[in-house]
Amino acid sequence: MTHVLSLIVENHEGVLSRIARLFDGRDYKLESLMTAATDEPETSRMTLVVSGALAAVDKVEKQLRKLIDVIEVDVVHDVAAI
């Protein structure tokens, strides 16, 4: 099953690699990663598509929240979006 996570992160070097390293050798798989600018130049939005069990996605959400560069984490649950 796939899950979508939406993150607001600090916009500086190394953030992407720290987030991608969370997926190395774990029981969930990073299917897609997209980064975009926000209205504020010091932050970026990242959208991750992760496959794995719900328990594994909960685990990655908690690990993402621990990273100092991550400001906000939202798991998108079956909502209509454009």
Express each pLDDT in 20-71 by its tens digit: 888 887 778 889 999 999 999 999 999 999 888 888 888 889 999 999 999 9
Read off the pLDDT band of 81 (50, 70, 90). low
Report pLDDT for 78.
67
Q: Inform me whether the pLDDT recorded for 79 exceeds 70.
A: no
Using left for φ > 0, alpha for ψ between -120 and 50, and beta otherwise, residue 28 falls in: beta
Residue-range domain boundaries for the chain: 2-76
CATH of domain 2-76: 3.30.70.260
Q: Inform me whether the pLDDT recorded for 73 exceeds 60.
A: yes
Say how many residues make up the chain: 82
What is residue 33's DSSP assignment? E
Contacts by residues 29-36 (CB-CB < 8 Å, ≥ 24 positions apart):
31/2
